[in-house]
Structure 1
Amino acid sequence: MDNAQYVGLSRQMVLRRQMDIVANNIANADTNGFKVESLMTKEVPGPPAVTAGGPAPVKFVGADAVARDFGQGGLRRTDSPLDVAIDGQGFFKITTKAGDRYTRDGHFRTDDTGRVTTQGGDVVSDDGGGEITIDPAKTGQLTIAPDGTVSQGTERIGKVGVFKFDSLSALQKTGSNQYQNPSNQQATAVTDVKVRQGMLEGSNVNPILEITRMIEVSRAYEQTTQMMSAEADLSRSSISRLGRVQ
């Protein structure tokens, strides 16, 4: 296999990865707080398959990293008292069996003990890292102020914690629309953010743009396949002619 075939294969591998990411974006277009992703590529130098007269090194195509756009998604009203959206930067902090996680999905509920949790049962942290517990025996209206203060009737019972990072690159996706912080960077409480009760932040995916990208990736894959096929035909033709000359 010559250099063109190797380069073409490296390009196809990257395009398949791009297609997976675009498809995942489209699938999460209606996921609360989901952030659109894109694949970063790079040139990967490598030794040529054939050294005689060929350039060295050959530049292959490689996947570099997945970039994530943390831009604000649109807010939609639900009027559910435990639905909250962050209007601005920051993340809700939740406690899971695997440790602390961060999310923009504010579709919360209460468990059997009255603790505020995610739909998956992970406990939502207050601004100090503790729990927020609602007393089901009390009949006071549950309100969440723009600063995150949670009240049941006239009694203050906690404050929804919103945390931020100096560099969002510290966050690593873990699934279930959650992120972990494997770095040494510390999350700090946000004081100038607005928390909107009865609302949810939607995905910041633009479906039309993602479908356009999917078409572009599909066409690029087809073009690469055609190039590799033409290169293979040329090689076979050259070998056939060489055989007749001998």
Structure 2
Amino acid sequence: MYAAASGMAAQQTQLEIVADNLANAEVAGFKGAAATFADVRAGEIGLGTTTLGRHALFAQGKLVKSSGPFDVAIDGPGFFVVERDGHRAYTRNGEFAREPDGSLRNSAGWRLDGVRIPGDALAVRVERDGRVAIDTAHDRDRTIARLRLATFPAPEAMRPAGATLFVPTDASGRARLVEPGAHGAPSIAFGMLERSNVSIVESVMQILSAQRAYEANAKGVQAADEMLRIANNLHRG
């Protein structure tokens, strides 16, 4: 009974994670998550399963052209560095807008680190190597900043801090800043956004599989309950 009940709990966790993935499938820069499970054993006897935790899947999402004048995407591994209220986080969502002070912020108010657009800028662009250039009434192609990206030894161990935000942990290692566009390094795609890496078709198949496994485990609980009922009646007899 315990083995089947733990299987039901595991499939419930799987359903919750897949449902969260589907709910954010259209969010730019969102990374789907997966759960890790392990056997519970007493010697050679299997006692069920347990959930070890969940982790993000950092497979590259498709890059699509966007209409935002300050949208950027990362082609390859790495994260944008964002800050708010003295706290630092990391994201793959490059959907930013210019604020009155010239900073670039996302919809949650997180500021893109290291970039501030002057008020006289008539046009802004970001090159593949992270160079931020502007055109003004007096000059063209003036470099005002250079984006750097953060990479981690084990990004899958980072802790989610929102739909598209992550913070490092001891297991993920410390951030290392890299220059985009160098040999083997990620590059910047200006005027693009990275779509979620969640596959709706695969998620639906995962839901169907989890539902069938849940039902099978539920039948196991019912069978164990019936066996206990029969044993109890025999004892009374």
TM bucket (normalised to shorter chain) is: 0.7 to 0.9
1:25-69 deviations in Å (ceiling 9; x for gaps): 1111111111121111001246xxxxxxxx886523100121322
Q: CA deviation at 1:105?
A: 0.1
* Residue matched to 1:185: 174
User: In structure 2, which of residues 115, 119, 123 is the aligned counterpart of residue 141 of structure 1?
Assistant: 123
* Residue matched to 1:38: 34
Q: Report % sequence identity.
A: 25
* Residue matched to 2:54: 66
* Residue matched to 1:123: 111
User: In structure 1, which of residues 151, 164, 172 is the aligned counterpart of residue 133 of structure 2?
Assistant: 151
Aligned partner of 2:176: which letter? Answer: A
User: In structure 2, which of residues 166, 178, 192 is the aligned counterpart of residue 199 of structure 1?
Assistant: 192
Q: CA deviation at 1:187?
A: 2.1
Q: CA deviation at 1:89?
A: 1.1
Aligned partner of 1:115: which letter? Answer: S
* Residue matched to 1:12: 8
Q: CA deviation at 1:139?
A: 4.5
Normalised to the residue count of structure 1, the TM-score between the two structures is: 0.85
Normalised to the residue count of structure 2, the TM-score between the two structures is: 0.88
Cα separation, 2, equivalents of 1:37 and 1:98: 28
Q: CA deviation at 1:170?
A: 4.5
1:147-200 deviations in Å (ceiling 9; x for gaps): 111111122111222121122244211114100113352322243322111110
* Residue matched to 1:104: 92
Q: 1:139 to 1:94 in 2, by over 3 A?
A: closer
Q: 1:223 to 1:23 in 2, by over 3 A?
A: same
Aligned partner of 1:213: which letter? Answer: Q
| 1:153-232 superposed matches below 5 A | 153=135, 154=140, 155-183=142-170, 185-191=174-180, 192=182, 193-232=186-225
Cα separation, 2, equivalents of 1:84 and 1:14: 38
Aligned partner of 2:204: which letter? Answer: I
Contact 1:40 1:65 (8 Å CA) reproduced: yes
Contact 2:56 2:156 (8 Å CA) reproduced: no
Which of structures 1 and 2 has the bigger CA Rg?
1
Aligned to 2:9, the other structure's residue is in SS state: helix
Cα separation, 2, equivalents of 1:82 and 1:139: 13
1:84-127 deviations in Å (ceiling 9; x for gaps): 0111111000012262100000000112211111222111013x
Aligned partner of 2:60: which letter? Answer: Q
Q: 1:242 to 1:168 in 2, by over 3 A?
A: same
Aligned partner of 1:135: which letter? Answer: P
Contact 2:30 2:163 (8 Å CA) reproduced: no
Contact 2:58 2:156 (8 Å CA) reproduced: no
Contact 1:33 1:201 (8 Å CA) reproduced: yes
Q: 1:231 to 1:220 in 2, by over 3 A?
A: same
Aligned to 2:143, the other structure's residue is in SS state: strand
Report whether the alignment pairs 1:95 with 2:83: yes
**Number of paired residues?**
226
Aligned partner of 2:12: which letter? Answer: R
Query: Structure 1: which 5+ runs fail to align?
Result: 47-54, 127-131
Cα separation, 2, equivalents of 1:59 and 1:242: 25
Cα separation, 2, equivalents of 1:109 and 1:190: 23
